[in-house]
């Protein structure tokens, strides 16, 4: 049965990997994730660079420089090679199981505890409206039903559904678009 690239890569998740990139630097870190572009995520990553320095007798001395980087997202375009450095570390500290995250109740069947008295909400008579003031009254009809149909709301004139001049409307000739009628002479 042939394996595709993603399943080959998945078997190395959590391994310590050595990644060589285009400018000949080497990154060593814990391989956490990858995608279809071969972008890599490495944790606890360290960078190793080989530097050539001139020696006094005309030769070159090769020196390796190490730098700690931490969490690295490496663009797949720069990856030249991947090598296994070490298998995943087995640690004694508890870890979360792999898989999709899901919120699950953590209780043991005892139900939700009742809040302490005093933390249940505002105290009666302090702050907020009186309890009866927020209840709908039977005397007031719902909005739009008490007035006759086709009657404008209070404050609106009987004109073509427009407020009277000076009530939030621009003066004539200052509205949007071209003015209607013949141009002034």
Top mean pLDDT of 13-27, 78-92, 108-122 is at 13-27
Mean pLDDT for all residues in the chain: 76
| 10 contacts 31 by C-beta, under 8 angstroms | no
Q: What is the pTM of this model?
A: 0.47
DSSP letters for 35-70:
-TT--EEEEEEEEEEEEEEE-TTS-EEEEEEEEEEE
- Tell me, what's the pLDDT at 68? 96
Q: Residue 175 pLDDT more than 60?
A: yes
pLDDT tens profile 48-103: 999 888 877 777 888 999 999 999 999 999 999 999 999 988 766 666 666 666 56
The label of the residue with tokens 């030769």 reads: 59
């Amino acid at each position: 049965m042939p394996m595709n690239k993603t399943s080959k890569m998945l078997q190395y998740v959590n391994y310590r990997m050595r990644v060589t990139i285009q400018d000949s630097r080497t990154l060593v870190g814990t391989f956490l994730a990858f995608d279809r572009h071969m972008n890599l995520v490495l944790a606890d990553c360290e960078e190793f660079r080989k530097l050539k320095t001139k020696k006094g007798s005309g030769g070159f001395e090769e020196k390796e420089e190490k730098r700690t980087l931490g969490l690295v997202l490496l663009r797949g375009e720069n990856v030249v090679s991947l090598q296994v450095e070490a298998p995943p570390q087995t640690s004694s500290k508890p870890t979360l199981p792999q898989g999709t995250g899901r919120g699950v109740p953590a209780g043991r069947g005892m139900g939700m505890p009742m809040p302490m008295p005093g933390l249940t909400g505002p105290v009666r008579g302090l702050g907020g409206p009186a309890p009866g003031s927020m209840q709908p009254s039977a005397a007031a009809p719902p909005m739009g039903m008490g007035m006759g149909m086709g009657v404008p709301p209070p404050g609106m004139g009987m004109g073509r559904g427009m407020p009277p001049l000076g009530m939030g409307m621009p003066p004539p000739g200052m509205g949007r678009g071209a003015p209607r009628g013949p141009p002034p002479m």
